Structures are given as structure tokens and as C-alpha cells.
Amino acid sequence: MLGQKQSEEAIVSNYNESEQHHVENRDEEKEEENQSLFNVKNLLWHGGSAWDAWFSCASNQVAQVLLTLPYSFSQLGMLSGILLQVFYGIIGSWTAYLISVLYIEYRSRKEKENVNFKNHVIQWFEVLDGLLGPYWKALGLAFNCTFLLFGSVIQLIGCASNIYYVNDKLDKRTWTYIFGACCATTVFIPSFHNYRIWSFLGLGMTTYTAWYLAIAALVHGQAEGVTHSGPTKLVLYFTGATNILYTFGGHAVTVEIMHAMWKPQKFKYIYLLATLYVFTLTLPSAAAVYWAFGDELLNHSNAFSLLPKNGFRDAAVILMLIHQFITFGFACTPLYFVWEKVIGMHDTKSICLRALARLPVVIPIWFLAIIFPFFGPINSAVGALLVSFTVYIIPALAHMLTYRKASARQNAAEKPPFFMPSWTGMYALNAFIVVWVLVIGFGFGGWASMTNFIRQIDSFGLFAKCYQCKPPTPTSPAAAMHH
């Protein structure tokens, strides 16, 4: 009798479980189908389509770096500036493609083992761990986290540097304190699903700023006695080149963006399409500002500092500030995930509890932005020492090692793309990227950008109150009215 009762309970329990599973599946299907434009919450908040991924990639790829590209052109000269942008843009798109292939490989292997990722965000270091083991996990984690940490620091420095051109009553260090507090509010945004409206707005803001820079420089015309002597010094040349390497190395968050998609398999060429759009912003603006101001840019790493103060410039500064706040969230969110996993809070449903747990991540970022306020030189240093590995070398090496055996190539979840029909071709291209970035990006770039960075510390000191600020000018009644 007892046995019968137990077996009935087991049947009911199994039925309930399968019913619950069925309901969950049905809910998920409904959720995917119900992405109607009339559903305001979905429209503004819950994004996972290929378009969302495109907006995320494009708006994440270029934010404040737009303002330092004219500075890079003054170090490189016009021709090198344009060629290196195209070159690193294409290589960056290729390594983002490799990351997407490795993610699909890892996920398909895990799903064959019935692993469920419903409340878990897959990250790059976990992909490396699953495919290549713990040493690769440690390597991926170290480089990725350090890069994202400094990426967030750069956004804060950029915020302070930009707002100063609208309101110079406060020095840049004080503005860094203020924006550190503002950016700390990103702890409330749960995941990349919830960046739909922000990505869309961010890209719109970057587009306005890029075209403002291009048009304002052309309207201003060439400055009196302008010279275009770059490239003149090797140190400056490689510093500029690594800043461009950094520009197209925004895919430390590729895996998180893919994981937020309903169909991650569609990601393959999204990064390339995002990069092509970004070219329409970076090339005209950097070329026009360099044409107008030439060598003057060598001492002005923020392009806003040379353009005349007016309503259009103030609008560009404010839009760029909002976008930098969004990009800060993009760079910090993977760090939040890592920290949550370390302290065992990643599965917590409560947004407020998770926000509280994430706060310790923001504090060191705030502190570092106050110590090293060097807008421009810090981009190149991060590019050479961190982006080179995180974004170019590690993905290319990981792909080569994952598919080194014939059996792995045979059972690959993703075969080589249509334009690269053989595995040998992929190996050759990956090997070229590893060697090129190791020698030119990390080697020469690291030497040049650190030399430049140390020079800035010697000139301005740590905790510089107002880096590259103009000496205070006597306030005329007209200027006072303008403020």
C-alpha cells in the first residue's frame, strides 16, 4: 500500500515536473515570439535580437576613443592613420568571429551534457576553461578583467575631460568624483539583455558627435600656419598605432553580448557589419580634424579642446557624456558578473541585493581614474598591454589549439566560413595575427605607449588636478553671460 502511494506520488511529481518544464518551454517560446513593438517593456528593456547585438557592438566599439583618433592621426600622419584603421578594423572583426565560433563550440558541447544556462551568463574565461582547461581560464580572466577595469577607468577620465569644455568652473579631478558617483548607478542594470534602448541611444549620440567633429573642422577650415609633419618619431608613431588597435578592440564583452541573444548563431558577421558602420564615423571625423589642426593635436589629446565653443559643441559634449555613462556600464557589467560568481551572488534574483554586491567593483575604478587622469596616453597603454592579448592574440591562439586535432575539426559546431574554405587558411591567418600583434602591438606599441605614459606622469604628476587644461583666462562680461 505504501509502495503504491509512493509510486503514485512519484508519477504525480514527474508529471508536475514535465508539466512545469513544458510550461517553462512554452513561456520561453512565447517570450521569443512576443517581441512585438507594442510591448513597451520589450521595446525598451528586453533585447536579444540580431539588431540589438549590432547596436551593442557598434555603440560599444567607439565612444570617447572617437575624440582621441585625431590625436593619433597627428602621431601617425594621414595615410598611416587611415590604413591602420581599416587594417585593425578587419582584424578585430575576424577575432570577434573566432570568439563567436568558440562560444558556439563550448555551448554545444555543454548542452550535449545537459548543462542549463537559464540563470547563468556564459563569459569568455568559462569558454576558455571548457575548451582548453584551467590555465587558459586564468589567462583569459586576468587579461579580460584588467582590460575591462581600465576600459571603465578611461570612460571616467573621458567624462571629466569632456564636461570641462562645457563648464570649467570645476577642475577635471572634481568632475571625476562627480561622474564616479553617477556611473556607480550602472550596478542596477542586470545584464546585456537590458541595454536595448541604451545601445540605440548610444550609437545615435556617437553618430552626432562624429559628424559634428567632421563638419565643425571643415567649417573652421585649416588653422593659421597649420603643419602636418607626422610621423616624426617612432615613439609617437607606435603610440598612435596602438590607440587604433585599442579602438577596434572593443570585444572584451563579445561573449556576454552573444549570450544575451535569443539565437547566438546569428552573431557571426554582426561585428564586421558594426565595424563597417563605425568606419563611417571614425575615418571622416579623424581625417577632418587632423586636416584642420595638424600638429597642434600632438598636445591636445581630446579633439573638443580645439574646436570653437558653441551650442553644437556643447550638445556633442553632453551626448558624448551620456554615451560614456552607457559604455561604462558595458565595460563594467562583465566585471560585475565575475565578482558575483566569486562571492556566490550570481543566481540572486533581487536586483537591489545584486546592486549592493556589485558596488566594491566601482570603487577601485574611481580611484584609478583620479590617480591617472591622462586622457589619450592611457588609451594607447591599455591597447598595447591588454587589448593586444585579450582581443587579438588569445582568441587566435585559442582557436588554433581548440581545433588542432582532426577529430575536433570533424565534429566542429561551426565549419570555416565560405570565404576561407580550408582549416589551413584559418591557421595561417591566425598565426599571422598572433605574430603581428605580439611584435607590433605588444612589443613596439608597449614600449612606445609606456614611454609616452611615463612622460605624462613626469610632466603632470599622479593625481593631476587638471590634465592638459588651458591656463585660466580673465573672464570677460560676454564669457560670463555665456556661462
Q: How far apart are CA 61 and CA 95, in angstroms?
A: 14
Of 446 and 459, the one with more pLDDT: 446
Q: Any residues with CB less than 8 A from the CB of 153 and at least 6 apart, and which?
A: 365, 368, 369, 372, 378
Closest CA to 176 of 472, 465, 483: 465
Q: How large is the average pLDDT for residues 268-277?
A: 90
CB atoms within 10 A of CB 182: 13
Closest CA to 222 of 311, 315, 306, 317: 306
Most confident of 179-193, 251-265, 414-428: 414-428
Going by pLDDT thresholds of 50, 70 and 90, the confidence category of residue 312 is very high
Q: Residue 379's Cα: distance from chain center in Å?
A: 12
Rounded to 5, what percent of the chain is helix, strand, coil? 75, 0, 25
pLDDT of 469 higher than 70: no
> Burial, 361: exposed, middle or buried (Cβ in 10 Å; 0-12, 13-18, 19+)?
buried
Q: How far apart are CA 191 and CA 390, in angstroms?
A: 21
Q: How many residues does the chain have?
A: 483
Model pTM above 0.85: no
Long-range contacts of 82-86 (CB under 8 A, 24+ apart): 82/283, 82/287, 84/241, 84/244, 85/244, 85/247, 85/248, 85/279, 85/282, 85/283, 85/286, 86/279
Q: Any residues with CB less than 8 A from the CB of 135 and at least 6 apart, and which?
A: none
Closest CA to 390 of 188, 250, 194: 250
pLDDT of 36 higher than 90: no
Of 420 and 27, the one with more pLDDT: 420
Q: Among all chains, which residue has been given the C-alpha cell 509512493?
A: 6
Domains recognised in the chain with CATH numbers? 47-460 (1.10.4160.10)
Going by pLDDT thresholds of 50, 70 and 90, the confidence category of residue 463 is low
pLDDT digits (tens, 9 = 90+) for 314-371: 999 889 888 888 888 887 888 888 888 888 877 777 778 888 888 888 888 888 888 8
Phi, psi of 393 (to 5 degrees): -75, -50
Cell numbers at 281, concatenated: 564615423
